[in-house]
Amino acid sequence: MSMDQERVREDVRKGYSEIAAGSGSCCGPSKSCCGSAASGNVAKAVGYSEAELATLPEGADMGLSCGNPSALAELRGGEVVLDLGAGGGFDAFLVAQRVGASGRVIGVDMTPEMVSKARRNAVAFGERTGLRNVEFRLGEIEHLPVADASVDVVISNCVINLSPDKPQVWRDAFRVLKPGGRVAVSDLALLKPIPESIRKSIEALVGCIAGAVLVSETEAMLAEAGFTAVQLEMKTDYVNAMSEWQDPLYLKIIELLPPGEQIGDYITSLNISARKA
């Protein structure tokens, strides 16, 4: 990994460590990097129901979503699911209920503070639901601490865009999937290249914007990794709602845009589905 890539990784780790510790966002007093200060509003905006959110341990929802991969995945009981960049366990706990006691969920995150938070949340989740089918591992999503061909489904929510080596993320996801396994990912992607002033902004990077790539690049990386049946669905509602949330992070990014342009002119929420043949 180059020095620039390693610097990106450390910037992201630092930003999300601060969120896990509850000391604010990458920019401003909110606790969110990919959404609004009101985390529940973000989750509802991207398709999570009140009933789903009510099952989560307190503090699991930190407003870091840009989609709902647990719904996209069409999960079945007994499946093994891997969550890339699991954070405090938000999606992992929802998925655990879908796959049931006979299934298993593995969450991977590179931030020690997030892994510790998720493990504490797992205790509360087990007491609330009776399910103890979730584990969290410290690791990088480019080099997953997971055996070859051992999981049925790979999910991720607004994380892959943060990686400095996205092709390697998709290659390693392919490696850990069983034959016939699938990915269900929600992420942010570019509709057109963003201004250089935003790409150089650390706040924009940790806010899931500066690290995003073009939709066409995402499709090419999936194909190069070996995935088939690739489906990409652009969801513009989430991005259009950013301006209404008054999140300090996005307000700062908006200031860097050329006059008359909006975030939605450049970026979209993207649902990604694919299979390992």
Q: 235 lies in which domain range?
A: 3-74+145-275
What are the tens digits of pLDDT across the range 2-28? 656 777 677 677 777 777 777 444 333
Tell me the CATH number at 254: 3.40.50
Per-residue confidence (pLDDT) for residue 41, from 0 to 100:
63
Q: Which of 69-73, 150-154, 187-191, 207-211 has the highest mean pLDDT?
A: 150-154
- Domain assignment present for residue 81? The answer is no
Cβ atoms of residues 93 and 126 within 8 Å:
no
- Domain assignment present for residue 115? The answer is no
Per-residue confidence (pLDDT) for residue 205, from 0 to 100:
54
Q: How does residue 245 score in pLDDT terms, banded at 50, 70 and 90?
A: low
Residues near 3 by Cβ (< 8 Å), separated by ≥ 6?
A: none
Q: What is the mean pLDDT of the chain?
A: 84
- Domain assignment present for residue 85? The answer is no
Of the chain, the percentage scoring pLDDT greater than 90 comes to 52
Do you know the residue count of the chain? 277
- Domain assignment present for residue 70? The answer is yes
- Domain assignment present for residue 105? The answer is no
E-state strands within 7-138? 80-84, 104-109, 134-138
What are the tens digits of pLDDT across the range 65-98? 788 898 899 999 999 999 999 999 999 999 999 9
Cβ atoms of residues 100 and 78 within 8 Å:
yes
How far is 100 from 252, CA to CA, in rounded Å?
42
- Domain assignment present for residue 131? The answer is no
Angle between helices 166-176 and 215-225 (to 10 degrees): 40
Quick one: average pLDDT of 142-151? 98
Per-residue confidence (pLDDT) for residue 195, from 0 to 100:
80
Q: How many domains does the chain have?
A: 1
What are the tens digits of pLDDT across the range 248-267? 666 777 777 888 888 788 88
